[in-house]
Amino acid sequence: MIRLFGIAAGVGFVIILLYSFTFGAINFIKEPPVKAVEYQFHKHPEKPGFAHEGVLGKFDRGQLQRGLKVYQEVCAACHSMELVAFRNFEDLGFTEGQVKTIAKNWATETPSINPDTGEASSRPSLASDQIPSPYLNDVQARAANNNALPPDLSLITKARHDGTNYVYSLLTGYTDPPSDLPEENRPGTGLYYNAYFANLNIAMAPPLNSEGQVTYDDGTKATVDQMAKDVSAFLTWTAEPKLEVRKSTGLGVIGFLIVFTILAYLSYQNIWADLKAQKRKD
Amino acid sequence: MSFPWAKQYTPENEFMKWMDSRLPLPRLIYNAVGAGYPVPRNLNYFWNFGVLAGVALVIQILTGVILAMHYAANVGVAFDSVEHIMRNVNSGWLLRYAHMNGASFFFIVVYIHIFRGLFYSSYKAPREMVWLLGLVIFLLMMATAFMGYVLPWGQMSFWGAKVITGLFSAIPLVGPALQEWLLGGFSPDNATLNRFFSLHFVLPFVIAGVIILHIWALHIPGSSNPTGIEIKGKQDTIPFHPYYTAKDGFGLGVFLIFFCILTFFMPNFLGHPDNYIPANELSTPAHIVPEWYFWPFYAILRAFTFDFFFIEAKLLGVIAMFGSILLLFFLPWLDKSPVRSGHYRPVFRKFFWFGLIPCILLLGYLGGAPAEEPYVMLSQLASAYYFAHFLIILPIISMTEKPKPLPNSITESVTGKPLDATA
Amino acid sequence: MAEPETTETNEGGEVRRRDFINIAAVSFAGVGAGVVALPLVSQMAPSADVLALASVEVDVSSIEVGQAIKTTWRKQPVFIRNLTPAEIAESKAVNIGELRDPATFEDRTLPGKENWLVMLGVCTHLGCIPLGAAQGEIKGEYDGYFCPCHGSHYDAAGRIRKGPAPTNLEVPEFSFVSDTVMKIG
């Protein structure tokens, strides 16, 4: 009885699905779907290679410090980084004193209240403060940026596919639109063509546009490519500050587990040995 | 249990004797997973996955209870509290990545466990109740995993909650009211997040309870085996401990190696980047996809694109998605073949390996693909095969198929010698 | 591997080798479980953001002689008092031998800055906040601080004089970063 019901229900589902399939297939043949323009022109991120990649990869501290400088002097004017605190910069190889100086001299101050009047005010940041946002809120951020919201950068390399390479490629990927790009996909006012951006037209003006835009303390030549690489590495650290301890812990754990598994296998073989011996004797 | 030759528990010392006459917990363990449980001697590695599923649940409960100490279920701070765990809490990143990937590994293990049950027909009499309780665990797991994915309150959390609760709105008459009731509002919000957190916390303990029933029901007939034939006597079984505990220890090591490779070296591989963007009710991600373990069912849901007479496509999709799981509850009565193991069922085996498995893998791939052609057409074909396999093909072959000759006993299948020679 | 040995016999030395492998595997698992317990336990310890607030800097330039402010350090109240010369003299004059928790005035202040008394506003009995820091609050029998919960009296230097509290009000580690800015912790 159950089988009869089952077969009936099964035939029902199959008929409906094949019916839908037939209509879909007819449509598919009559009007084959056109690949969206975004697919044709969109590019996958370049892979410039970073020190933190791979099983043993570690951050290049000098690069992270340079990346911080690029973020501080270029990106931070529009992009917040709310999940990172100044104290975290000690991980980049800065001393406690240097971190305090960076916090104190940050272009945006930390919001506070005037202790006498209670009015909204601001004060120089302390090492324990989170990095203050350049805007009071999203509305102000949109208003200042032609209605485009600059995303918070704390997690940006984890919030995009292949994030580190994506940020690098995006920063270096501004070009003139290709000549065969359809008119409706050309950048409108306030938009810029970038083949690495999902819909090809990004509201951010090319942020890194000239060599020496940032003066590096360690004397590295600040080419656009170098700055893009450095800030991408820095943003990888902001998104995944525990990357190094994660990998080193992982190596230890997996090494331990391999030894354990071998021991467990030998133990298993030993315990089963007399069963196998019995089998052989038979 | 039901085997007269099972070893009997004997308390070793005065304390254990005292304990045994008051709270015979050691006796219970001895009979359940100790030397007192006789198990067929021919189990292969597929029989490791039940224990591994239990381990995965323990990992999830341990890491989950700890994460709950630091997580805050409020839409204003949920996302930041997860990042607080990742950045500030001691070893918080480890616990959270272990929990994230632990969910995936729980599903991997359970899917292999179910696969084992399907191929070796572990659902057949006298183990129907084991199978039914297993499906209840599977449903509870899916509910728990779905609600857990909402908790970080990222973009995929929010839109996942919206889309999945939207399934209920397809139900005629009461649908929209039901969706509002589930969400506690018109869209996922604080009320939703709080109730999902509460349920996500408590359901794993319900799962643990059903697992106890699942194991209890298993111990009445005892474990099945790769030949699918009955245990004939003492020579067919070995005690669970030390034989299968040792084998499970080795299996556990292999499992943990794979789990740790993902957790430590590619922790976000199975996740979606959009969930690192805080929830935004004004912007939908380009491709909303659930977690990978829901993809086969998601593909079935999306395969229904045309209204059929008076039934809306949306409702059909929902019925089919739930139906694809619910039909498994009827499996013991749809498949009436007297032979259990797929090894001895030539026709069943062909449909299983060349029909069902590719079909499910294809559905899994399609569920993660964008809702475009040709993916939709392929999911229609694959879904049709899925239903046809269980509801039409399986009942028919179970009646018409001529099985291969079975070995006389488990021992004979292991030693290759007739039973009387070993006895 | 090694199967020929195991098939030969089940006696003597062979058993020891088998036991060794089993014991090694089980003890390895035990060590692993022990190591796993470490993060599960340490996660309850104060997190990095809490520890970052372990020291605070306070500008004390606006505290007049004879006045005190209440601030917080590690989510606990801190009293910072600018002592009057009279209070200093009185505190120094106390006979140390009579005290329940003997401490000189110099033990509780910084040399050269002895008018600054910094104390946790946490009664050492059971953790209530003693009165006496703000103007108009009851200062107790010894003209210092009084805890209303169970009646502990402290003197002007925060030393316990009467009542159930066992020790003096705790003086946290503090130093002067500049003439007017004090660092606590």
ipTM: 0.93
Instruction: Compute the distance between CA of residue C145 and CA of residue C70 in angstroms, rounded to an integer.
Output: 13
Question: Is the pLDDT at C8 greater than 90, yes or no?
Answer: no
Residues B339 and B271 in one domain: no
Owner of token pair 């994230």: B100
Q: Which of B219, B274, B312, B401 is catalytic?
A: B219
| pTM for the model | 0.91
> Which of the listed residues B271, B288, B305 is the one where a domain comes to its end?
B288
Whole-number pLDDT of residue B158: 96
Instruction: Compute the distance between CA of residue A154 and CA of residue A84 in angstroms, rounded to an integer.
Output: 7
Q: Which residue of B has its CA nearest to C47?
A: B89
Q: What are phi and psi of B385, to 5 degrees?
A: -65, -40
> Chain C interface, mutation test: which of A267, A268, A269, most C Cβ atoms within 10 Å?
A267
- Judging contacts by C-beta atoms under 8 Å, the chain C residues touching residue B246 are 22
pLDDT band of residue C12 (cuts 50, 70, 90) is: very low
pLDDT band of residue B418 (cuts 50, 70, 90) is: low
Residues of C known to be catalytic: 150
Whole-number pLDDT of residue B314: 87
Q: Which of A80-84, C132-136, C144-148 has the lowest mean pLDDT?
A: C132-136
- Judging contacts by C-beta atoms under 8 Å, the chain C residues touching residue B89 are 43, 47-48
Whole-number pLDDT of residue B395: 93
Pairwise CB contact (< 8 Å): C50 & B84: no
Q: Is B91 tagged catalytic?
A: no
B191 against C114, higher pLDDT: B191
Instruction: Compute the distance between CA of residue B346 and CA of residue A89 in angstroms, rounded to an integer.
Output: 65
Any C CB within 8 A of B264 CB: no
C11-28 per-residue burial string, b: 16 or more CB within 10 A, e: under 16: eeeeeeebeebbebbeeb
- Judging contacts by C-beta atoms under 8 Å, the chain A residues touching residue C26 are 267
Whole-number pLDDT of residue A134: 94
Residues C32 and C59 in one domain: no
pLDDT band of residue A174 (cuts 50, 70, 90) is: very high
Whole-number pLDDT of residue C47: 92
Q: Which residue of B has its CA nearest to A23?
A: B306
Residues B283 and B368 in one domain: no
A residues 111..150 contacting B (CB < 8 A): none
pLDDT average, residue stretch B306-314: 81
Residues C68 and C33 in one domain: no
Query: pLDDT for C75-112, tens place per residue?
Result: 899 999 999 998 898 888 888 888 888 988 888 888 88
Touching partners of B (3+ C-beta pairs < 8 Å): A, C
CATH number at residue B356: 1.10.287
Q: What are phi and psi of A178, to 5 degrees?
A: -65, 150
Residues C134 and C72 in one domain: yes
Whole-number pLDDT of residue C14: 53
pLDDT band of residue B123 (cuts 50, 70, 90) is: very high
Question: Is the pLDDT at C10 greater than 70, yes or no?
Answer: no
Out of A259, A269, A280, the one facing C28 most closely (by C-beta) is: A259
Whole-number pLDDT of residue B306: 80
Instruction: Compute the distance between CA of residue A53 and CA of residue C91 in angstroms, rounded to an integer.
Output: 64
Instruction: Compute the distance between CA of residue B16 and CA of residue B22 in angstroms, rounded to an integer.
Output: 10
Whole-number pLDDT of residue B417: 67
Residues C8 and C73 in one domain: no
Per DSSP, which regions of B132-209 are E strands?
A: none
Query: pLDDT for A124-155, tens place per residue?
Result: 998 889 999 999 999 999 999 988 999 999 99
Out of A10, A28, A83, the one facing B391 most closely (by C-beta) is: A10
Instruction: Compute the distance between CA of residue A135 and CA of residue A153 in angstroms, rounded to an integer.
Output: 14
Question: Is the pLDDT at A23 greater than 90, yes or no?
Answer: no
Within a domain: B26: no
Residues B75 and B131 in one domain: yes
Any A CB within 8 A of B45 CB: no
Instruction: Compute the distance between CA of residue B21 and CA of residue B18 in angstroms, rounded to an integer.
Output: 6
Within a domain: B84: yes
For residue B221, the distance in angstroms to the closest alpha carbon of chain C comes to 31
Handedness of CA B323, B328, B333, B339 (dihedral sign): positive
Question: Is the pLDDT at C6 greater than 50, yes or no?
Answer: no
pLDDT band of residue A276 (cuts 50, 70, 90) is: confident
3-state secondary structure of C184: strand
- Judging contacts by C-beta atoms under 8 Å, the chain B residues touching residue A20 are 303-306, 313, 380
B314-347 per-residue burial string, b: 16 or more CB within 10 A, e: under 16: bbbbbbbbebbeebbbbbbbbbebebbbbbbbeb
Question: Is the pLDDT at C48 greater than 70, yes or no?
Answer: yes
Query: pLDDT for A34-57, tens place per residue?
Result: 777 777 888 999 999 999 999 999
Residues B152 and B189 in one domain: yes
pLDDT band of residue C9 (cuts 50, 70, 90) is: very low
Residues C68 and C19 in one domain: no
Residues B206 and B243 in one domain: yes
pLDDT average, residue stretch A159-168: 95
Residues B125 and B186 in one domain: yes
Q: Which residue of B has its CA nearest to C32?
A: B253
B374 against B155, higher pLDDT: B155
Cα distances from B131 to residues A94, B36, B47, B121, B126, in angstroms, run: 59, 23, 15, 10, 10
Whole-number pLDDT of residue A279: 64
Query: pLDDT for B249-264, tens place per residue?
Result: 999 999 999 999 999 9
pLDDT band of residue B3 (cuts 50, 70, 90) is: confident
The strands making up C68-73's β-sheet, listed across from edge to edge, are: C68-73, C76-82, C116-120
Residues C160 and C69 in one domain: yes
Within a domain: B416: no
Instruction: Compute the distance between CA of residue B292 and CA of residue B270 in angstroms, rounded to an integer.
Output: 7
Pairwise CB contact (< 8 Å): C24 & A280: no
- Residues β-bridged to residue C78: C71, C120
The packing angle between helices B245-265 and C12-42, to 10°, is 40
Of the candidates B385, B313, B296, the one whose C-alpha atom is nearest the C-alpha of residue A24 is B313
Whole-number pLDDT of residue C59: 87
Residues B167 and B78 in one domain: yes
Q: Is B247 tagged catalytic?
A: yes
- Judging contacts by C-beta atoms under 8 Å, the chain A residues touching residue B94 are 246, 249
Q: Is B248 tagged catalytic?
A: yes
Q: How many domains, chain C?
A: 2
Any C CB within 8 A of A278 CB: no
Whole-number pLDDT of residue A274: 79
Any B CB within 8 A of A258 CB: yes
Question: Is the pLDDT at B88 greater than 80, yes or no?
Answer: yes
Whole-number pLDDT of residue A113: 87
Contacts of C85 (CB under 8 A, 6+ apart): none
Of the candidates B343, B330, B313, the one whose C-alpha atom is nearest the C-alpha of residue B391 is B330
- Per cent of chain C over pLDDT 90 is 37
Residues B270 and B168 in one domain: yes
Q: What does pLDDT average to over chain B?
A: 93
Q: What is the DSSP string of A87-111?
A: GGGGGGT--HHHHHHHHHH-SSPEE
pLDDT band of residue C5 (cuts 50, 70, 90) is: very low
Per the structure, the complete domain to which residue C73 belongs is given by 50-184
Per DSSP, which regions of B228-375 are E strands?
A: 237-239
Question: Is the pLDDT at A167 greater than 50, yes or no?
Answer: yes
Cα distances from B380 to residues A189, B305, B322, B339, in angstroms, run: 43, 9, 16, 32
pLDDT average, residue stretch B59-87: 96
CATH number at residue C142: 2.102.10.10
Any C CB within 8 A of B88 CB: yes
Any A CB within 8 A of C47 CB: no
Per the structure, the complete domain to which residue B76 belongs is given by 36-228+236-288
pLDDT band of residue B287 (cuts 50, 70, 90) is: confident
Ramachandran area for residue B247 (φ above 0: left; ψ -120 to 50: alpha; else beta): alpha
pLDDT band of residue A115 (cuts 50, 70, 90) is: confident
Q: Rounded to an integer, what is the distance from CA A39 to the centroid of its chain?
A: 21
CB A233 within 8 A of CB A64: yes
Q: How many domains, chain B?
A: 2
Using only C-alpha atoms, chain C has a radius of gyration, in whole angstroms, of 29
Within a domain: B16: no
Pairwise CB contact (< 8 Å): C22 & A271: yes
Out of B252, B333, B422, the one facing A282 most closely (by C-beta) is: B422
Question: Is the pLDDT at A263 greater than 90, yes or no?
Answer: yes
B307 against C45, higher pLDDT: C45
Any A CB within 8 A of B418 CB: no
Give the CATH number of domain A36-80+157-237.
1.10.760.10
Q: What does pLDDT average to over chain A?
A: 91
Residues C62 and C142 in one domain: yes
- Judging contacts by C-beta atoms under 8 Å, the chain B residues touching residue C19 are none
For residue C26, the distance in angstroms to the closest alpha carbon of chain B comes to 9
For residue C43, the distance in angstroms to the closest alpha carbon of chain B comes to 5
Residues B217 and B323 in one domain: no
DSSP H helices in A201-242: 224-239
- Judging contacts by C-beta atoms under 8 Å, the chain A residues touching residue B254 are 261
Instruction: Compute the distance between CA of residue A106 and CA of residue A196 in angstroms, rounded to an integer.
Output: 31
Within a domain: B87: yes
Residues B347 and B376 in one domain: yes
Residues C37 and C63 in one domain: no
Question: Is the pLDDT at B50 greater than 80, yes or no?
Answer: yes
Amino acid at B174: V
- Residues β-bridged to residue B38: B239
Any C CB within 8 A of B82 CB: no
Q: Which residue of A has its CA nearest to C52?
A: A128
Any A CB within 8 A of C49 CB: yes
